[in-house]
Amino acid sequence: MSDSIFVQYIWLVPAVSLLAAVITAIAGNRWLKQQAWLPCMLAAAFGAVWSALALVVVAQADEPVAFVPVLEWLTVSDLRVAYELLVDPLSALMLFMVTFVGSLIVAFASWYMAHEEGYARFFSEVALFLFSMTSLVLVANLLMLYVFWELVGLCSYLLIGFYYTRPCAAAAAKKAFVVNRIGDFGFALGIFLIWVTCGTLSYRQVLAVDQGLQQLTAAGPAVLTTVCLLLFCGAVGKSAQFPLHVWLPDAMEGPTPVSALIHAATMVTAGVYMVARFTPLFAQAAGVGTVVLVIGCVTAFIAAFTALTQTDFKRILAYSTISQLGYMFMALGIGTVAGAVAAIFHVFTHAFFKALLFLGSGSVMHATGGELNVWRMGGLRKYLPVTHWTFLCAALALAGFPLLSGFWSKDAILATVWQASGAATQLAGAVGLITAALTAFYIGRAYFLVFWGEPRDRAIEEQVEHYVRDEAHGPPEPLIMKAPLIVLAVGSVLVGAVIALAFGGLVPFLAGAYGVEPLAHATAEHDAHGHAWGMMLLSAVVALAGLGLAYVFYGQPSPWPDRLAEQLAPLYRISVNKFWLDELGLILVVRPMLAIAAACRVLDNVLVDGLVHAVAAVPAWFARLALRPMHNGLVPFYALAMLLGLAVILTLVLFQIQGG
Amino acid sequence: MPVEFVRNYLIISSVLFSIGAAGFVARRNLITMFLSVELMLQGVALSLVAFGRAWGNYHGEVFALFVIAVAAAEAAIALALVLVLYRHRHSLDVFWWQQLREPGTTPPVPEPVEEAEVSTEVHWPKLPPAGIEPVREKETIDVG
């Protein structure tokens, strides 16, 4: 397989993105102007085509794992870090997802961001983002993984803070960066521990059963567990898991295509990918699986519960992302190849419908003039037909409507969790089902509130009507914006069914990434439960019930929501206030940190600076006392001083000669 | 190296150098100070020539030629500078130029008093006997 040019030159995919970023950064503002999106678009489209071909090559190969050496990055005694790429089913699938969804988002953004200040800057940063993410899924070395992990964090910081003149956007960008830093700290420690134990950071050795894995297990049970927990810590930050998920809702301050990019194609999927990549380690580490499972479970439930009552359109979607990521970690927590495959399956389908949901919300925001409160919208389906239909597809896919993509992947996760042994997994399965109902309900609520009924706000209605009528800014739904929506909608509807029915799920394909032995194991496991029909039926019923309830509550004017909010006031308050997690974080983490920082500042100002100033004052004092009077401006005096100095030196030299 | 051969030359050269150095430190007249520097240079040049002779080669003489060439160039520039300075103050007294000191300190020697009348006719530098404050009432030597 490694002799195929699509595998050999796979590095072209990130390289072209990097090139596009550089070109746009240099030429964007001066020469490209409104064409600044083209380099980024071309790079992303090229990446999508190339990685699709690579995916086909990988799928047809007998031995679907290839290491592609590209260049040496650094060599320090034993430490060799190469920019070496690993092409296997897992990375090829992720690469295709990132570039394909990414290119659609870029196309949409070329319309959405038009006439924005910093058009070129936006696309330069997006191209850099794509470069970082494609490299992240391809590299075959933990240190390189960390480098691109951080680059992804940097790009998200830049893009969330795109409107950096707005204080809230700047604060959100900073929050995302700082919260991610907490996770990355653990991640870095994990990498150090692997280096200390195994003496190598290459996947080739670390993941090999007879090398790194053996060394880690031999070093004692605590070592492997610690490594896995630390790696998971990084994933918790990057993939917005409880309790580090607080940055993701705030990240909505960025432009909407950025939200789509972060939530669907890049950034948050990095954590899932990393844990899936290291599943061989996680499978051996005792107790870590349960931690992952519980965190995922808690995250899924808390986020879904919070999304029930949010009024900010994009925030509902943000909490839904967190919730879906929770699902993925639930599956990863099982610690088997089947679990990892189910998680990656969900990542894949989720990318389609979540990108679509965000792009749809972007279209709505343009029509309503940036309004985000779902209670002020309504009846938008007659103004924005394409947005409405595609959003409906995505919403149904997210809700797990039978036969749509979200249904298959969510079912795969729930079935995997349900059939794993242990009381914790049974409980997690139950929570997963409840969360599925909540998911269907909140996304139905958002959909009905925005697109159904009558406009609730006169000003917004006028704005929308004006937007649809007024052709000055172009048609309300031009082709460049419709096309990505439709492609994503087709993906949201079909992708799951195609993978599940035509290819018999991702298990036979992805198991190749984990070597031959797990393949047999996973296939056996897969055959054992096949498609869990019972679970399918159950989740379908749950999803339909959630959607039906949402229709009853929000499909037409109804007294039920208010009445229910009154009767279940405590629950309602918990949900509206997001479990007070932000406030809790403020009291437990931010305030103490600020206090420590203030103390440090005083210490720095008084003690450290005082010492430095004291030391610095000595020469000044000496100079004032002794040297300043010597500079009296009298040329004869200077000459005399020179002569005397010369005399002294000569005398010394003479004595030296005589003495020697 | 025959020490006896160079001894007398060295004595002469060090005497020249010392006179020059003493003159440079003690005199206040810019032109006299400049002459003193020339004296020091020639003292050194003399010793170089003497050493050259003593070793039996031309190194010292080549060096001395260099010294003379540099001294000529230096004289051209230094005299021009002296002239410019003179134009500013109508005086050759070096104590007029104490601004090279640390800012904010008082001059160690009181600056000479500016002459009251400023004549429009062209002034030329004069060479009064120096070491004490130059006498200004009568022109002794007219350089122009």
3-class SS at B94? helix
Which residue's structure tokens are 């040049």?
B45
Contact B95 A629 (CB under 8 A): no
**Closest C-alpha to A131, from A44, A68, A35:** A44
Distance CA A372, CA A365 (A): 7
Question: What are the φ and ψ backbone dihedral angles of A312, each rounded to 5 degrees?
Answer: -80, 120
| Cβ-nearest to B101 among A631, A640, A643 | A631
Q: Give A54-79 pLDDT, tens digit per residue.
A: 888 888 887 788 888 888 888 887 77
- Give the model's pLDDT for residue A528: 46
Residue B73 has pLDDT above 90, yes or no: yes
Which positions ≥6 away from A549 have C-beta within 8 Å? A441, A444
Tell me the pLDDT band of A202, cut-offs 50, 70 and 90.
Answer: confident
Q: Under a CB-based contact definition with an 8 Å cutoff, are residues A224 and A69 in contact?
A: no
- Give the model's pLDDT for residue B144: 47
Name the strand (E) or helix (H) holding B64: helix B59-89
Two structure tokens written together for A620: 């000044």
Flag whether residue B97 sits within 8 Å of chain A, measured between CB atoms: yes
Contact A636 B98 (CB under 8 A): no
Q: Nearest residue of A to residue B100 by CA position?
A: A633
**Closest C-alpha to A632, from B94, B29, B100:** B100
Q: What does the pLDDT average to over A293-299?
A: 90
Residue A577 has pLDDT above 90, yes or no: no
Percent of chain A beyond pLDDT 90? Answer: 18
Q: What does the pLDDT average to over B37-41?
A: 93
Distance CA A471, CA A239 (A): 41
Tell me the pLDDT band of A30, cut-offs 50, 70 and 90.
Answer: confident
Which residue's structure tokens are 């010292």?
B60
Q: Give A175-187 pLDDT, tens digit per residue.
A: 889 888 888 999 9
Q: Which of A370-379, B37-46, B112-121 is the most confident on average?
A: B37-46
The residue extents of the domains of chain B are 3-92
- CB burial class (10 A; 0-12, 13-18, 19+) of residue B73? exposed
Helices (H), A400-422: 405-419
Contact B102 A628 (CB under 8 A): yes
**Closest C-alpha to A346, from A259, A286, A257, A436:** A436
Q: What does the pLDDT average to over A490-501?
A: 84
Contact A629 B94 (CB under 8 A): no
- Give the model's pLDDT for residue B69: 94
Percent of chain A beyond pLDDT 70? Answer: 96
Chain A nearest-CA distance from B116, in A, is 24
Distance CA A39, CA B115 (A): 78
3-class SS at A497? helix
Q: What is the value of ipTM here, to two decimals?
A: 0.77
Question: Which amino acid is residue A401, in one-letter code?
Answer: F
| Cβ-nearest to B98 among A634, A639, A643 | A634
Tell me the pLDDT band of A423, cut-offs 50, 70 and 90.
Answer: confident
CATH architecture of structural domain B3-92 = Orthogonal Bundle (1.10)
Higher-pLDDT residue of B115 and A158 is: A158
Q: Nearest residue of A to residue B24 by CA position?
A: A636
Residue B123 has pLDDT above 80, yes or no: no
* Number of neighbouring beta carbons within 10 Å of residue A520: 11
Which residue's structure tokens are 């109902």?
A437
Q: What does the pLDDT average to over A503-525?
A: 61
**Closest C-alpha to A353, from A488, A219, A186:** A488
* Cβ-based contacts under 8 A for chains A and B: 44
Residue B58 has pLDDT above 70, yes or no: yes
Region for A114 from its dihedrals, namely left if φ exceeds 0, alpha if ψ lies in -120 to 50, beta otherwise: beta
- Give the model's pLDDT for residue A208: 77
Q: A346-360, A515-529, B98-112 — which is least confidently predicted?
A: A515-529
Residues 2..31 of B with a Cβ closer than 8 Å to A: which? 21, 24-28
**Interface-testing mutation among A624, A634, A637, with chain B (most B C-beta atoms within 10 A):** A634
Torsion over CA of A189, A194, A196 and A197, rounded to 10 degrees?
Answer: 140
- Give the model's pLDDT for residue A559: 75
Q: What does the pLDDT average to over A83-105?
A: 89
CA–centroid distance for A365 within its chain: 23
**Closest C-alpha to A172, from A108, A237, A253, A106:** A253
- Give the model's pLDDT for residue B76: 94
